[in-house]
Amino acid sequence: MTDIAAQTKIEDIKPPRSQWFDVWAQFKTHRGAVIGMWFFIFITLLVVIGPYLWTLDANFIDIRAKNQGPSLAHPMGTDQLGRDAFSQVLAGGQVSLSVGVVAMLLALFLGTLVGILAGYFKRIDGLLMRFTDLFLALPLLPLLLVMVMLFRDSLRGLFGPETGIFILIVFAIGITSWMNTARIVRGEVLALKEQEFVLAARSIGTPPYRMILRHILPNVMSPIMVSATLGIANAIITESALSFLGLGFPSDFPTWGRLLFDSTNFMTLSPERVIYPGLAISLTVLSVNYMGDGLRDALDPRIRGR
Amino acid sequence: MLNYTIRRLLFTIPTLLFISLIIFLLLDLAPSDPTGNLPLSIPAEVREQIRQSLGLGEPIHIRYYKWLVQFFINEPLNIIEQMFDITIGDGDRLRVTSWSTRSPVVDLVLERMPQTLWVVGMSYVVGVLIAIPIGVYSAYRQYSWFDQTGTFISMVGFSVPTFFTGVLLIVIFSTIVPTDSFFWLPSIYDTTHKVTDLASFGFQIRQMIMPVFVLGLFNAAQISRYMRASMLDNLGLDYVRTARAKGLTENVVLLVHVLRNSLIPVVTVIALGIPQVFGGAIITEQVFKVNGLGHLLIGGIEAADIPLVQTLTFIFAVLIVFFNLIADILYGILDPRIRYD
C-alpha cells in the first residue's frame, strides 16, 4: 500500500522547470515582444524563402515595363529600369538581415571577449576599460564613412565587388559597436566572481579558460542575448544609413538602404517606391527592439515570476 | 570637486591625442590616392610631384606632429586673429588646407557651422521640450493609455531611422500636397535665404519645420524614456511621501520636488546626446540638402579630401570628449551625493 501512495506522490510533482522555461513564460506576457518575435520570424522567412516563390530576378531589366505602379505582375511596381520592386525588396532584405546578423555576431564576440577578460583578469581590467572608453569617444558614423571610403576599392579588388563590400561593412559595424556589450558583460563578471560557486570551482583547481567557458560564460548569457537583439537593430540601421549616404553597397546590389536611396530620386514620379524599403527597415528594427525589450524583462530575475 | 575637475580635464589630453592618432593613422595607412581623381593624362612623375607638394613625402611621425601643430596651435590662433582683427606672432602660419578646394579647412568649417547649429540646435531644443513633459506625465500616470501611447511612439521614434521619416515627410508634404497649398513645405533647405521681413521669416520657418521635426522626434523619443524612468525612480522615494504628508499640492510635489531631482540624470543624458546629434545630423542634412558640416564631410569623403575629412572627424571627436566632460562635471555639481573625491 505504501508503495502506491509514494508512487502517486511522485507523479503529482511537476517536472522541474528549467530557467529557460521561466524566461519563455515571462517573455510571453509581453505582448509587443511576442508580436515583434513573430514579425521578425515572418520577415526572415519571407526574405529567405520568398525569392524561391517569387522567381522574378531582382536585377532583371525589362525597360518596356519601367516606372509602373503596383499591379498583379509587379505587386510593388517597377523601378526606372523596369526591375521588379518586390523581388528587389526581397533580395535587399537578405543582404540587410545578413549584414545585421553577422555584424551583431562580430560585435557580440568582441564585446564578450573584452568584457570577460576585463572582468576576470584584474591586471588588464584598467587597460581594457580605458580602451573601451576611448572607443566610446570616437565619432562612429563619420569614422564608418571614412573606413568605407578608404578601404572600399582595395577590398573590392581582393574579394570581388559584393563580398568585398560585405566584409568591409560587417567588419566596420562590428568593430564600432562592441563597447556597450563589453561594459555590461564586465559588470556581470565582476559580480559573478564574488560568488561561492566560482570560489568552489577555483578551489578544485579549475584552470581560467575552463572557468570562463564552463562557469562564467553560461551565467552572463542573459545580458549577451539582450545585447544581441539590440545589436541586430543597430547594425541594420547603420548599414542602411551607409547605403543611404551612397557609401554602402553598389547600386546593382540591392539592400533596403540602397533601394531607399535610389528611389528618393524618383519621389515625385513614384512616391510609393520610397515607402516599401523604408517600411521594411522600420518594421524590422521596431520588431527587434520590442523583442529586446521583452527579453530584457524576461531575463531580469527581479521582474520574472511576479 | 575642483580637484576632480582638474584631474578629469587632464585625462582628456591623452584621450584626444589617442583619437587624433587613430584618425590620422586610419586615413594615412589607407590605400587611397589624393591624385586618383585627377585626369589620367597626367604623367606619373608629375603625379609624384603633386604628392610631394601636398607634403606626402615626409615620414609618418613628422606628418602627424605637423598636423597636430597645425590643428592645435596654428588654427586656433588664426581664429582668434580673425575674431579680434589682431596679429599674433608673424601671422603667416602653415594652415590645414583642403585638397579639393585649396582653401583653409577651418574657413570651410566656419562657413558651414551656422546651418548645422541652427537645424541641429533647434531640433535638440524642440526634442527636449517635447520629451520632458511627456516623460513627466507618463511616469505620473504609469500604465495609463497616455503612458502606453507614449511608450509606443518613443519606440517607433528611435526604431524608425531619420532617413526614412525625412523621406516620408518629403513625400507627403512636398510631393503629394499641392505646391500652392498652405501645407506645402520645401524639401530642400535653402541656405542662402535671408530673413528680412515677415514673409521671408515665414519661409525660413517653413523650410526648417521638416528637418527640425525629424531630428526632434528622434531625440525626444530617447530623452522622454530617460525622463520617465528617472521620474519613476524618484516617485517611490520617501521624500515624496513626506512632501505629500505635509499637505503640498500635487503640482508642487511633482514639478518642484520630483522633477528637480529627476532632472539630474536627464541633464547629463542631454549633454551626452549633443555630439551624437551632430553625427546623426549628417543623415538629416543629406536628406534635406542642408549644406552644413555633415554635407561638407560627405563631400570631402567623396572627393578623397583627406585634410578636410581628418579635421571634421576630429571636430566630432572633440565634441564627444568635451560633452562627456561637461556631463561628468554637471553630474557632480547637480548631485552633491556624487562627488568624486
The number of domains in chain A is 1
Tell me the CA end-to-end span of chain A in Å, nearest whole number.
40
Q: Which residue of A has its CA nearest to B304?
A: A149
Torsion sign across C-alpha atoms B136, A30, B165, B161: positive
Least confident segment among A79-93, A101-115, A122-136, A196-210:
A79-93
Instruction: Write the pLDDT tens digit of every residue in A166-208.
Output: 888 999 999 988 998 999 999 989 988 888 998 999 899 989 8
User: In 3-state terms, what secondary structure has residue A84?
Assistant: strand
Instruction: Write the pLDDT tens digit of every residue in B290-303.
Output: 888 888 888 888 87
Beta bridge partners of B97: B104
Average pLDDT along chain B: 83
Q: Does B231 reach chain A within 8 Å, measured CB to CB? A: no
Instruction: Write the pLDDT tens digit of every residue in B41-86.
Output: 888 888 888 777 777 777 788 888 888 888 888 777 777 777 777 7
Q: Which residue of B has its CA nearest to A144?
A: B313
CA distances from A290 to A36, A40, A178, A225, B155 (A): 6, 10, 21, 13, 8
Q: Which residue of A has its CA nearest to B313?
A: A142
Q: Above 90 in pLDDT, residue A42?
A: yes
DSSP state of A78: B
Least confident segment among A215-219, B34-38, B135-139, B162-166:
B34-38
Q: How far is A16 from chain B (nearest CA, A)?
A: 34
DSSP state of B247: T
b/e map A111-124, b = 16+ CB within 10 Å: bbebbbbbbbeeee
Residue A266 belongs to a domain with what CATH number? 1.10.3720.10
Q: List the 89-128 stretch of A: residues with Cβ below 8 A of B.
A: none
Q: How far is B321 from chain A (nearest CA, A)?
A: 6
Partners of B171 on chain A (C-beta within 8 Å) are 267, 271, 274-275
User: In this complex, which of A139, A146, A244 lies closest to B301 when CB atoms are compared?
Assistant: A146
Task: Give pTM, 2 decimals.
Answer: 0.85
ipTM for the predicted complex: 0.82
Partners of A229 on chain B (C-beta within 8 Å) are none
| Residue A300 lies inside a defined structural domain of this protein | yes
Partners of A279 on chain B (C-beta within 8 Å) are 164
Q: What is the mean pLDDT of residues B321-336?
A: 84
Q: Above 70 in pLDDT, residue B10?
A: yes
Q: What is the mean pLDDT of residues A30-38?
A: 89
Q: Above 80 in pLDDT, residue B167?
A: yes
Q: What is the mean pLDDT of residues A22-50?
A: 87
Backbone angles phi, psi at A75, to 5 degrees: -60, -25
Q: What is the mean pLDDT of residues A24-47?
A: 88
Residue contact B301–A145, C-beta within 8 A: yes
Partners of A260 on chain B (C-beta within 8 Å) are 163-164, 167
Q: Which CATH architecture group holds B2-34+110-334? A: Orthogonal Bundle (1.10)
Domain map of chain B by residue range? Answer: 2-34+110-334
Contact between B292 and B281 (Cβ < 8 Å): yes
Contact between B293 and B312 (Cβ < 8 Å): yes
Contact between B334 and B32 (Cβ < 8 Å): no
Backbone angles phi, psi at A78, to 5 degrees: -130, 165
CB pairs under 8 A between A and B: 124
Q: Does A271 reach chain B within 8 Å, measured CB to CB? A: yes
Contact between A229 and A33 (Cβ < 8 Å): no
Distance CA A140, CA B100 (A): 24
Contact between B227 and B142 (Cβ < 8 Å): no
Nearest to A30 by CA among A302, A299, A281: A299
- Return the C-alpha cell found at B161: 531611422
pLDDT classification of A39: cutoffs 50, 70, 90: very high
User: In this complex, which of A133, A139, A257 lies closest to B313 when CB atoms are compared?
Assistant: A139
**Residue A110: per-residue pLDDT:** 94
Q: Domain of A48?
A: 20-54+85-304
Instruction: Write the pLDDT tens digit of every residue in B208-230.
Output: 888 888 888 888 988 998 999 99
Q: Which residue of A has its CA nearest to B316?
A: A139
Q: Which residue of A has its CA nearest to B178?
A: A268
